[in-house]
């Protein structure tokens, strides 16, 4: 659903089933990716570890963290980075679009 909504708004999307797949996709396509929407609770690789791996590929990676727990220590630590924004679940599509525009 999120992928379809973003595509309708003109975004090109890459969908990853977990953090490991996301890192592999980013490694291959980072020149074509403007921002990453990152869930903190994933199988295979937690959101913080995923962010760390993405940052190894590109220290300036722009990340929108989508989380149900915006006060967690990992989210608070990551949110101090100027290339990271946090959006709390549940969120509206307008909130998502605004957060993505702030990362641009």
Q: Which domains does the chain have, with CATH numbers?
A: 2-103 (3.40.50.2300)
pLDDT for the residue numbered 53: 98
Q: φ and ψ at 35, to 5 degrees? A: -160, 155
pLDDT per residue over 29-84, tens digit each? 999 999 999 999 988 899 999 999 999 999 999 999 999 999 999 999 999 999 99
**pLDDT tens by residue, 82-99:** 999 999 999 999 999 999
Assess contact for 57 and 51: CB atoms under 8 A.
no
Residue with tokens 């996709």: 25
């Amino acid at each position: 659903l999120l992928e379809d909504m973003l595509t309708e708004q003109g975004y090109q999307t890459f969908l990853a089933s977990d953090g490991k797949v996301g890192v592999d996709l980013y490694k291959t396509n980072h020149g074509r990716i403007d921002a990453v929407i990152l869930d903190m609770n994933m199988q295979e690789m937690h959101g913080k570890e995923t962010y760390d791996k993405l940052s190894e590929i590109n220290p300036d990676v722009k990340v929108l963290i989508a989380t149900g727990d915006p006060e967690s220590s990992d989210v608070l630590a990551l949110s101090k980075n100027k290339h990271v924004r946090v959006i709390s679940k549940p969120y509206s599509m307008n909130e998502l679009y605004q957060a993505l525009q702030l990362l641009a």
